[in-house]
């Protein structure tokens, strides 16, 4: 009798099991981990090889001992991104003087980059003459680069980068990072100011105060020798506003 009851229960249970969701007996795919880590200041910039509008690019190796800027944007043919890249193109001579190589990247395919680049090079933005875009636009259709740089965020669309900027020194160490929302365009003049300040502080072992611009006095990181006379300190271009705030005059 017990065997009969078990047999009847089994017959009743099988149809019920098969009537469930068709994925019931399949291995469940793990949810996509979208908390991709952002490499931080002082870390080595992640390397990658990718196709761009300037051919195959090996970053950062192809740029040797230059300063480098990796400039991400959410999507081609969008208005804010277009203004940003046109402003970068307008500053190309300044970047060249600073020894800076600019690379733009998004998750669009290469053919879309090429069409967008051609369209931008025909625009008279801000009543300026159309300008050629000399820096590469990198295609990251498979999101591999964007994930390495933490540019796919948990609350953003999986196919779009956030507006990120990584400033990388000649030793391929990240020296500055900033991110903007999709709705707000970045200040490309601030990018030039930041690189100018980074180069100065790196080369001269000084610091820059708030709102510093090229030609302004700088801060010194250590308090000068307390035994030095005022005349000696002045001859070195040093002065202070408080015992903890020492400046050095720019000549």
Q: Residues with catalytic annotation?
A: 81
Cβ atoms of 101 and 66 within 8 Å: the answer is yes
Cβ atoms of 123 and 224 within 8 Å: the answer is no
Task: Give which of 127, 130, 34, 146 is closest to 89, Cα–Cα.
Answer: 130
The token pair at 1 is: 């009798």
Give, in order, the Cα–Cα distances in Å from 22 to each of 16, 19, 26, 28.
Answer: 12, 8, 8, 12
d(CA 75, CA 106): 6
The token pair at 151 is: 């540019």
């Amino acid at each position: 009798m017990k065997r009969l009851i078990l047999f009847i229960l089994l017959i009743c249970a099988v149809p019920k099991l098969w009537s469930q969701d068709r994925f019931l007996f399949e291995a469940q795919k793990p949810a996509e981990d979208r908390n991709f880590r952002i490499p931080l200041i002082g870390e080595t910039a992640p390397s990658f090889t990718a196709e761009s509008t300037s051919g195959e690019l090996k970053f950062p190796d192809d740029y040797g001992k230059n300063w480098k800027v990796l400039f991400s944007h959410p999507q081609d043919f969008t208005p804010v991104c277009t203004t940003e890249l046109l402003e970068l193109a307008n500053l190309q001579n300044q970047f060249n003087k600073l020894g800076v190589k600019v690379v733009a990247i998004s998750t669009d395919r290469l053919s879309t980059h090429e069409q967008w680049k051609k369209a931008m090079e025909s625009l008279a933005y801000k009543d300026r003459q159309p300008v050629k875009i000399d820096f590469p636009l990198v295609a990251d259709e498979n999101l591999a680069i964007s994930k390495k740089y933490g540019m796919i965020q948990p609350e953003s669309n999986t196919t779009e980068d956030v507006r990120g900027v990584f400033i990388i020194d000649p030793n391929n160490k990240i020296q500055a990072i900033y991110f903007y929302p999709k709705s707000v365009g970045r200040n490309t003049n601030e990018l030039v100011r930041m690189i100018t300040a980074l180069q100065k502080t790196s080369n001269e072992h000084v610091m820059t105060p708030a709102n510093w611009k090229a030609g302004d006095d700088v801060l010194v990181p250590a308090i000068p020798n307390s035994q030095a006379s005022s005349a000696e300190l002045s001859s070195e271009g040093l002065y202070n506003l408080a015992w903890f705030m020492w400046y050095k005059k720019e000549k």
